[in-house]
Amino acid sequence: MKYICADCGQEHEDWPALVFQAPDPYLALSPEEKEQAELTKEICCIDDKEGTHWYLRGVLTQYVYDACQYLDYGVWVSLSEESMKDYYEHYEDKEYKTTYFGWLVTNLPNYPPNTSFALPTNVEVDNSKGIPTILPHQKGDSIFIKDFYDGISTEEALRRIDALLNV
């Protein structure tokens, strides 16, 4: 599949990572509220009357069972303030590895609304590899959880890629 990369502008033939530019709670903010929030390529912070909410982007990799291939998503998880402080504190330490608990805060394409949202995850940080890895917990009856652990077809992977590239 050929596509033009949004980051480098070059044509590629492999599958693109399906990257979400912001966590869903940020997307729900008014323009005025967005001005008060902080959003980078990998971190988001939202202050509201309920407190401060921290979000981190990571990679969730879904197996494509009939292609021996993987489809990567750049998704967002919410983290506790304590976890976020730890992440900041060790950001430059290339030897640092840890796991945080987080909640998935990205609605993924081709799933009914909220079936991939607010699911418990492990956020695995290995600074020698770069961006954190997101692993949903196995418990739960979400179709997304089933697909994550059983895999999806090539046809379904291509449908998801097409849905995001042609928005």
pLDDT at 4: 62
Average pLDDT over residues 41-56: 95
Average pLDDT over residues 146-153: 93
Q: Which residue has the higher pLDDT, 141 or 95?
A: 95
pLDDT at 12: 56
pLDDT of residue 114 exceeding 90 = no
pLDDT at 108: 87
Q: How far apart are CA 11 and CA 113, in angstroms?
A: 32
pLDDT at 3: 56
pTM for the model: 0.88
Q: Which residue has the higher pLDDT, 167 or 163?
A: 163
β-strands 3-4, 11-12 pairing: antiparallel
Average pLDDT over residues 145-164: 90
